[in-house]
C-alpha cells in the first residue's frame, strides 16, 4: 500500500520545468522500517544489556570509591569521567564477553569487539591519562602566571580524564564478571 502511494505521487509530481525532481526528494525522505519489534528487541538483547549494566555498575561504584578515597559521599561521582573503575573498560569487556558467549571465540564479531576493547583500554591509560596530566600542569601555570582578575585566571581544565592501569584492569574485570554472570534473556 505504501509503495503504491509513493508511486502515484511520483508519477504526478513531474513538471515541465523540473521533471522528476520529486523522485530523489521522496527517496531521501523515505525511511525504511526497522526490522523486529523495536524497543522490545533492544530490552531483551543480552549484548546490549550486559554492556549497559557493565557501564552502569562501574559508574555506580565510583560513588563508593570516591567515598573511600576522599571521605565524602558524592552522587555526582556517578556522572564523572575517569576514576575507579573505568566504565569504558567495563562496557567494552562486558560486550566482548557477551559476544564471546553468544557467537563463540572464533567469530569475526568477537575478534572485532576484542580489537576495539583493547584500543579503548589502551587509549584510556595512554592518551586520555596524559591529557589529564597536561591539564594539571596547565592549571598550575595559569595559577602562577595570571592574576585572579584576569579572565583566564578562573578557568580550570578538567584534570581527571583518563585512568591508571589499575582502574582499567578493575573496569575490565567488572565487565568480564557482568558478562559471565548476567542471566540469559
**132-172 confidence digits (pLDDT tens):** 777 777 777 777 777 666 666 666 766 666 778 898 999 99
Residue 82 within any structural domain of the chain: yes
Q: Could you report the per-residue pLDDT of 145-155, keeping only the tens digit for each? A: 776 666 666 66
10/22 Cα distance (integer angstroms):
6
What is the domain range of residue 45? 38-127+166-181
Is the pLDDT at 27 greater than 80, yes or no?
no
Which is more confident, 131 or 12? Answer: 131
**What's the sign of the alpha-carbon dihedral 64, 70, 73, 78?**
negative
Residue 3 within any structural domain of the chain: no
Q: Could you report the per-residue pLDDT of 31-80, keeping only the tens digit for each? A: 777 788 888 888 899 999 999 999 999 999 998 888 888 778 888 777 77
Residue 156 within any structural domain of the chain: no
Residue 23 within any structural domain of the chain: no
Residue 68 within any structural domain of the chain: yes
Q: Are 163 and 82 in contact (CB under 8 A)?
A: yes
- The per-residue pLDDT of the chain, averaged, comes to 80
46/178 Cα distance (integer angstroms):
11
pTM above 0.85, yes or no: no
Question: In whole angstroms, how far apart are CA 5 and each of 24, 28, 29, 30?
Answer: 16, 16, 14, 12
Is the pLDDT at 9 greater than 80, yes or no?
no
Cβ partners under 8 Å of residue 25, min gap 6: none
Residue 139 within any structural domain of the chain: no
Residue 151 within any structural domain of the chain: no
9/126 Cα distance (integer angstroms):
56
Residue 154 within any structural domain of the chain: no
Q: Residues of the chain with pLDDT > 70: what percent?
A: 74
The upper half-sphere exposure of residue 56, i.e. CA atoms within 13 Å in the direction of its Cβ, equals 7
Which is more confident, 119 or 20? Answer: 119
pLDDT at 172: 94
Q: Are 125 and 133 in contact (CB under 8 A)?
A: no
180/85 Cα distance (integer angstroms):
18
pLDDT at 46: 94
Which is more confident, 10 or 83? Answer: 83
The number of domains in the chain is: 1
Which is more confident, 179 or 83? Answer: 179
pLDDT at 126: 77
Amino acid at each position: 500500500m505504501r509503495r503504491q502511494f509513493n508511486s502515484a505521487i511520483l508519477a504526478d509530481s513531474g513538471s515541465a520545468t523540473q521533471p522528476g525532481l520529486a523522485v530523489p526528494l521522496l527517496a531521501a525522505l523515505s525511511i525504511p522500517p526497522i526490522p523486529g519489534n523495536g524497543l522490545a528487541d533492544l530490552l531483551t538483547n543480552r549484548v546490549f544489556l550486559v554492556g549497559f549494566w557493565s557501564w552502569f555498575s562501574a559508574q555506580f561504584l565510583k560513588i563508593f570509591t570516591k567515598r573511600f578515597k576522599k571521605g565524602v559521599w558524592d552522587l555526582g561521582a556517578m556522572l564523572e569521567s575517569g576514576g575507579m573503575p573505568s566504565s569504558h573498560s567495563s562496557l567494552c569487556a562486558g560486550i566482548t564477553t557477551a559476544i564471546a558467549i553468544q557467537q563463540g571465540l572464533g567469530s569475526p564479531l568477537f575478534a572485532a569487539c576484542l580489537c576495539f576493547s583493547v584500543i579503548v583500554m589502551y587509549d584510556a591509560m595512554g592518551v586520555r591519562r596524559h591529557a589529564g596530566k597536561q591539564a594539571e600542569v596547565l592549571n598550575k601555570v595559569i595559577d602562577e602566571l595570571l592574576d585572579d582578575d584576569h579572565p583566564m585566571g578562573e578557568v580550570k581544565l578538567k584534570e581527571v580524564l583518563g585512568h591508571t592501569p589499575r582502574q582499567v584492569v578493575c573496569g575490565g574485570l567488572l565487565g568480564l564478571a557482568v558478562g559471565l554472570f548476567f542471566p540469559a534473556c
